Amino acid sequence: MLKIQKISAIALLVAAVFATAACNEKEKAPATDSKAVAQADSNLAKDPSYAVGILLGSDLKGLVDSQKEVMSYDQEKLLSGVKDALSGKVDLSQNQELQKTLTDLNEKLSKAAEAKAKEDAQKAAEAAKTAKADGEKFAAEFKAKEGVKQTKSGLLYRIEKEGEGAPIKATDIVKVHYTGKLPNGTVFDSSVERGQPAEFALNQVIPGWTEGLQLVKKGGKIELVIPASLAYGDQDLGAIPANSTLHFDVEVLDVKPAK
């Protein structure tokens, strides 16, 4: 951890050094001389040292930003520290006081991370509980609609158009347009909104799709209400909470046998 903290500090300060140098160059140039400023930036971009500094600074900026709620870094002191390290004035491996400071910082960040993980876990559990209740209510309401049928697995469906041709097989490759929603109406995925149909092997998707699309043919349209057991179960996918019932409108554009 000490090694990581040391590299992080140096990377941030190197980036700060080059950023300061770039700003100083711009300040020297007339405000209207945009070509001169652009040329200076271009020259720096060709310098390996500057490029490495930007690479390290860019990667580690995310680290510092992620710690803002726990730790606020003073850029002037960061700059002072990297100068002392580069000049050989301070050797981290020989300085126990600095090592203790970094160890204390690591402990502080670890405790904050643990607290955040517990908070996220609690929120996820609450979301899963809500998703289960919402799904059961939505499924019951959908099941009561005209034309809705249920398979032995618990899949609910309503065929809007059967389509034509040979029955779809689980091993077929299908090309579809679809919109997926949660019971509360939130759209979590839609090929229609993207304007680009999806194509995949039917046996490579969630069980509810594999089973449901075999109920129609090419050109068919079907509405599916898929219980969590035939979708993503207790997985929390962010946009799709654990235990979510999924509602899909699907149109089968094409069907091809697997090669």
Task: Give the residue numbers annotated as catalytic, written as ranges.
Answer: 178, 188-189, 206, 232, 248
Cα 56 from Cα 51, distance rounded (Å): 9
